[in-house]
């Protein structure tokens, strides 16, 4: 009975010691867990601080880059013509450590040295003394296209074509209509000194050649005298008789009426003749 009690007491004592030992072990584990939690919290705080620092650096780098872009836009056009420098900054890796991301961002903020603008050399200035003055070529002379004054000989021939005088058989007398046309022809001839007019007398084929030849001369002289009586200058006129040698037509009696005539031949006066 006493032994049994001793054994039970030893058993309870052992269980109490075990419980105490377990309590101590749990206390040590709790202390270890608390220290581990502090270490983890410290690491988390350091990580958050590093990420905040990286974010601030990124914002500052973006502001610096925007200021540099504004400065480049304000530079002269000569610098803007230079080749554009592409931004080859690598993006930070999500899985890379914070220190590596910070080094990459720091490297990206370092811009290459500005390229000196290439200025084209100014063109050589040519001295004024070396310039050769070329005289302008004379303008070509253009022939005058103004219409010339009408030749008086042309107008005189037109009047002479309508100034044929016809005579009766054996007659050398002019009528009133003939005198009007003769006066117009004479005045036009006096206004055209370069003209020379032949008064040609003609006859029909009736009768002998001698009579017809004499009659043709009388008709030419009668016309010349009529010019003198009209008060016109007859120095440009010359009477000529051709008889019946130049008939206008031959056949019946009506043709003889046309052959008894005086005609005017307009020539150009040649002072050397």
- Domain contains 90: no
- Domain contains 89: no
- Domain contains 147: no
- 189 neighbors 156 (Cβ within 8 angstroms): yes
Looking at the fold, whether 232 and 160 belong to one and the same domain comes out as yes
- Domain contains 33: yes
Looking at the fold, whether 216 and 161 belong to one and the same domain comes out as yes
User: Would you say residue 243 has pLDDT above 90?
Assistant: yes
User: Would you say residue 39 has pLDDT above 70?
Assistant: yes
Pairing label, strands 195-201, 165-166: unpaired
- Domain contains 63: yes
Reported in sequence order, the residue ranges of 62-213 that DSSP labels E, i.e. its strands, are 165-166, 195-201
Looking at the fold, whether 65 and 157 belong to one and the same domain comes out as no
Q: Give the 3-state secondary structure of residue 256.
A: helix
Instruction: Name the most confidently modeled range: 23-37, 56-70, 131-145.
Output: 56-70
Percent of the chain with pLDDT over 90: 34
Looking at the fold, whether 73 and 157 belong to one and the same domain comes out as no
Least confident segment among 79-93, 164-178, 186-200, 232-246: 79-93
Least confident segment among 54-58, 137-141, 175-179, 263-267: 137-141
Contacts of 69 (CB under 8 A, 6+ apart): none
Looking at the fold, whether 194 and 250 belong to one and the same domain comes out as yes
Q: Into how many domains does the chain fold? A: 2
User: Would you say residue 180 has pLDDT above 50?
Assistant: yes
pLDDT digits (tens, 9 = 90+) for 3-15: 666 777 777 777 7
Backbone dihedral angles phi then psi of residue 19, each to the nearest 5 degrees: -65, -40
Q: What is the mean pLDDT of residues 86-99?
A: 50
Q: Alpha carbon of 90 to those of 64, 86, 93, 105: distances in Å?
A: 17, 12, 9, 8
Looking at the fold, whether 100 and 188 belong to one and the same domain comes out as no
**What local confidence, expressed as pLDDT, does residue 148 receive?**
46
Looking at the fold, whether 173 and 260 belong to one and the same domain comes out as yes
Looking at the fold, whether 160 and 100 belong to one and the same domain comes out as no
Structural domain that includes position 23: 2-78+95-108
Strand partners, 136: none
Instruction: Report the distance separating Cα 80 and Cα 93, nearest Å.
Output: 33
- Domain contains 133: no
**What local confidence, expressed as pLDDT, does residue 104 receive?**
45
- Domain contains 43: yes
Q: 265 or 107, which is more confident? A: 265
Looking at the fold, whether 102 and 169 belong to one and the same domain comes out as no
User: Would you say residue 227 has pLDDT above 70?
Assistant: yes
- Domain contains 86: no
Q: 225 or 54, which is more confident? A: 225
How many residues are there in the chain?
273
* CATH number, domain containing residue 258: 3.30.1330.60
């Amino acid at each position: 009975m006493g032994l049994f009690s001793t054994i039970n007491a030893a058993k309870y004592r052992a269980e109490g010691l075990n419980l105490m030992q377990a309590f101590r072990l749990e206390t040590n584990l709790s202390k270890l867990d608390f220290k581990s939690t502090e270490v983890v919290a410290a690491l988390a705080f350091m990580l958050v601080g590093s990420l905040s620092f990286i974010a601030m650096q990124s914002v500052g780098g973006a502001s610096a880059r925007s200021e540099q872009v504004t400065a480049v836009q304000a530079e002269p056009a000569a610098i803007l013509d230079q080749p554009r420098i592409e931004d080859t900054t690598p993006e930070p890796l999500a899985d890379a450590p914070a220190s590596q991301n910070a080094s990459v961002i720091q490297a990206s903020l370092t811009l290459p040295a500005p390229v000196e603008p290439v200025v084209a050399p100014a063109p050589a200035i040519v001295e004024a003394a070396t310039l050769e003055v070329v005289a302008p070529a004379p303008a070509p002379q253009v022939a005058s296209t103004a219409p010339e004054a009408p030749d008086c000989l042309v107008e005189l021939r037109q009047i002479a074509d309508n100034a044929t005088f016809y005579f009766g058989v054996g007659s050398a007398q002019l009528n009133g209509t003939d005198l009007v046309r003769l006066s117009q022809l004479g005045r036009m001839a006096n206004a055209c000194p370069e003209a020379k007019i032949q008064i040609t007398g003609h006859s029909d084929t009736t009768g002998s050649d001698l009579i017809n030849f004499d009659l043709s001369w009388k008709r030419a002289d009668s016309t010349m005298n009529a010019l003198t009586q009209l008060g016109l200058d007859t120095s440009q006129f010359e009477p000529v008789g051709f008889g019946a040698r130049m008939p206008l037509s031959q056949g019946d009696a009506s043709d003889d009426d046309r052959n008894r005539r005086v005609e005017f031949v307009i020539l150009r006066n040649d002072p050397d003749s």
